[in-house]
Structure formats: C-alpha cells, structure tokens
Amino acid sequence: MTINIGIATNPFRESFQRAFEQEIEIIKPNPKLDEIVKYDLVIFSGGEDIDSRIYGESNTYTRGINPERDKIELDILSKAMALDIKLFGVCRGHQLINAKLGGRLIQDLFMGQKPSLHHSSPHAIDKISSDVFLKDIDIVNSLHHQGVISSGKGLQITSKHKGIIESTMGKNVYTVQFHPEFMLGVKEIREFFSFFKAYVKDNIKKKDPSKVNLTEHYGGTPIKTSGNFESLIKRSRNIDEFINCIREYSHLNNTDLVLEITLNQRQHLERNYERKSQLEDELDSHNSRDEELYSRMEEGLFDSDEEFEEMERERNDISDMIENTLGEFHNINNHILRVALEMQEMVNNYVEDSHERPTFTAVIERATSGSSNNIDFSRFTNNS
C-alpha cells in the first residue's frame, strides 16, 4: 500500500521513508495549489527552532533559527490546510503547526525558565483524551529543548508530559512532540506508522484547487515586528513596568509624556497583575508537586500498586490544573496587552498626525477628547 507523501523540507526524510516503507518527495518551495494537491499527506519534520515571533514573542531563549525554512514551511502549511491535505507534524513540525494556529511555546525547558518542566529521554506520556494513534504507546523519546504549552486553535490535546503538550489532533492534522521515526525498533511504533498510513488512505477528501481561497489560511499568528514590545508587556509584573514599556515604545518617548491610567483602569490592571502573580505561584507549586510524584514513581518509592495508581491520578489532576492555570494566565496577559496596544496606538497616531512635536497639554487634550477606546485616559500626569 502506498500513498502520495511529501515532506515540507529535507530533514529526516530517509527516516520517514523507512517508517512509512515508501518513497517520500521533498516538496519544492512555494508550490502552486495544483502542484501540492497531489500529496495525500504532508510531513513537517524536526530540526531547528522556529522563530518565536511566529507566536508573538521575542527570541529570548530560541536558538539556531532558520528563517528561510520557516518561510517555506509556513507557505506549504497554509496551502496544504486550504486543500484539506492530511498533515503530520513531528517535534519542530508539532511546534510549527500549533504556533501557526495560535498556540504558544516555552522557548527553553532548561535555561532560565521552568526547571520542573525538564524532560528526560525516554519518558512516559499522560493520555489526556482519546487518541487512536497513541492507544498502545506509553513511552516516547525526547529530543527537544522547546515545548508547546498552549495548543493551536482547533487542535485537541491528546497527551502531555510535565505540562508540555506531547500530541494534538484536529481536522486533517496530527502532531507529536517526540520522534516516532527514530523508534522503529519498537513494535507499537511500527504499528503506529502502518495504522496512520492506512488512516490517511481511507480518508482522502481533498478540495479542488480552483475553488480554494488562500486568504483565510494565511491567517493564524503572523510574525510581528512589534514582538519585543508585546513580549515585554506580557513579562511585565506591575503597573510601573507597564507604563515604562509604553513610554519606551511610543514615539513621544519618556522625555515629554508620562502616561498614567485613570483610577478605575489602574485598579483593574493592578488586580490583573496581582492575579497574574498568584497564578505564577500556583504553577510553581503544581510543577513542584508533579516533579516530586514523578521522581517517586521513577525510583519505586511507593508501597503498593494502589498507591502508584493514586499517584498517577494525582499527576493527571495536576496536569489539568496546570492547563487551566496556564489558560487563565494567558487570558490575563492578553488583556493587559490589548490595553497596552490601545494606549500605544493612541499616542503614536497623535504624533504621526502632528506637524511638530506636541506639548504635554496638547497630548492631554487630544487623548481625552472623543476617544473611541473603552479605556478612560482622562487623567494624565506630567512628572517633569
């Protein structure tokens, strides 16, 4: 049995050929729709880090970026999605597809971020929801220093490990963080590839290229030139850092204007920052407990099968709590960012429309008259 398989770029093509037991073509860059539609399955393989600006962050811990590969693969991904071609993302490919669809990554599991997220190889995976492909797979390898912590739109999380998403599935999409193509000595992995190939063959429902509108599929999360500003806002811990960031990244800079939020908005944001701090503490606590349980289970520090099962149940509960906490944390960060972007846009629009550098009084008058924003900017303070 053969199907038409293409791989977006060359890395690990030979390993996938052995895994699927057939030839796999490298898709040429910037293919036309009527060229790529011939493929029944497109693979996005492992390799370098993806540019973190794809998911709206500055490259703090990301390394070894290949911008040309990102560009080629995002283009192929958009076209394959538009045609309803089946997609298989592995490691980097898992991260790229989730990021393209609005998910988020932690940039490094080992350097300066969350020590409790450290992955060893091999490791167990925690099944989160039904997954016909992973039903017989419990142990996987680990060859990554980044990880998906928030899945892309339309993708269901099916397994996790220490708060990191190990696999997702959605319409025409399946992704895994590990490298099954390097585990062919394991019977269940060989069966995984056979079953996956049969599934693709039995579910080919591609669209007619002449009837496809690509515009909607080039959406997702764009690479943002303002990534540094957005990343700093999301990392801000209090109102002072919030205001300083807006001052630094606005055209007026901090020499002529100090932005101060009105009392109600300020109190609202302060509550957000307070909750954000609480959530960070909760994540640390959850991850520490999960690390403790994992170590005890690995070292056999339990007295009975019942105790082991209880520890497994607790780890599953912790995984759910981590996911919920991360969800609330990102919602708060996104709200804070929306407020910041509105403030920045208001100030920058004023400057761009002016023929000369505005005075502090003029900015106040402009900012407080007829604003369509929901934020009340009626109280500005000059601290000069």
Reported as a single tens digit per residue, the pLDDT across 132-182 is 999 899 999 887 788 999 999 899 999 998 889 999 999 999 999 999 999
CA atoms within 13 A on the CB side of 157: 22
Helix (H, G, I), strand (E, B) or coil at 169: strand
Average pLDDT over residues 300-311: 88
What is the residue whose two structure tokens read 């079953």? 195
pLDDT of residue 338: 80
pLDDT of residue 280: 82
For residue 266, pLDDT beyond 80 = no
Average pLDDT over residues 10-30: 96
Could you tell me which of 380, 325, 321 has the C-alpha nearest to residue 347?
Answer: 380
pLDDT of residue 110: 67
pLDDT level of residue 258 (50, 70, 90 thresholds): very low
pLDDT level of residue 121 (50, 70, 90 thresholds): low
pLDDT level of residue 375 (50, 70, 90 thresholds): very low
pLDDT digits (tens, 9 = 90+) for 53-97: 888 777 777 878 898 999 999 999 999 999 999 999 999 999 999
pLDDT of residue 58: 73
Query: How many residues are listed for the chain in this entry?
Result: 384
What is the residue whose two structure tokens read 């073509």? 25
Q: Calculate the alpha carbon distances from 325 to 62, 275, 276, 320 in Å.
A: 24, 11, 10, 9
Average pLDDT over residues 307-311: 90
pLDDT of residue 163: 84
User: Which conformational region is residue 84 in: left (phi greater than 0), alpha (psi within -120 to 50 degrees), or beta?
Assistant: left
pLDDT of residue 215: 60
Average pLDDT over residues 303-326: 87
How far is the C-alpha of 72 from the C-alpha of 27, rounded, in Å? Answer: 10
pLDDT level of residue 382 (50, 70, 90 thresholds): very low
pLDDT of residue 195: 95
pLDDT of residue 369: 46
How far is the C-alpha of 384 from the C-alpha of 378, rounded, in Å? Answer: 19
pLDDT of residue 301: 87
52-87 burial: b if 16+ Cβ within 10 Å, else e: bbbbbbbeebbeeebeebbebbbbbbbbbbbbebbb
pLDDT of residue 170: 94
How far is the C-alpha of 119 from the C-alpha of 142, rounded, in Å? Answer: 7
For residue 117, pLDDT beyond 60 = no
Q: Higher pLDDT residue, 292 or 46?
A: 46
For residue 380, pLDDT beyond 90 = no
pLDDT of residue 213: 73
How far is the C-alpha of 235 from the C-alpha of 230, rounded, in Å? Answer: 9
* Direct distance between the N- and C-terminal alpha carbons of the chain, in angstroms, rounded to an integer: 76
Average pLDDT over residues 8-33: 95
Write the single-letter amino acid at 155: L
How far is the C-alpha of 300 from the C-alpha of 2, rounded, in Å? Answer: 45
Average pLDDT, the chain: 80
Q: Higher pLDDT residue, 112 or 212?
A: 212
**Global confidence as pTM:** 0.59
For residue 259, pLDDT beyond 60 = no
For residue 13, pLDDT beyond 90 = yes
pLDDT of residue 357: 45
Could you tell me which of 87, 46, 275 has the C-alpha nearest to residue 178?
Answer: 46
How far is the C-alpha of 163 from the C-alpha of 119, rounded, in Å? Answer: 10
Average pLDDT over residues 232-238: 78
How far is the C-alpha of 175 from the C-alpha of 155, rounded, in Å? Answer: 9
pLDDT of residue 217: 58
pLDDT digits (tens, 9 = 90+) for 187-223: 999 999 999 999 999 999 999 999 887 765 554 433 3
Instruction: Name the class of domain 5-218.
Output: alpha beta
How far is the C-alpha of 141 from the C-alpha of 178, rounded, in Å? Answer: 6
pLDDT of residue 249: 65
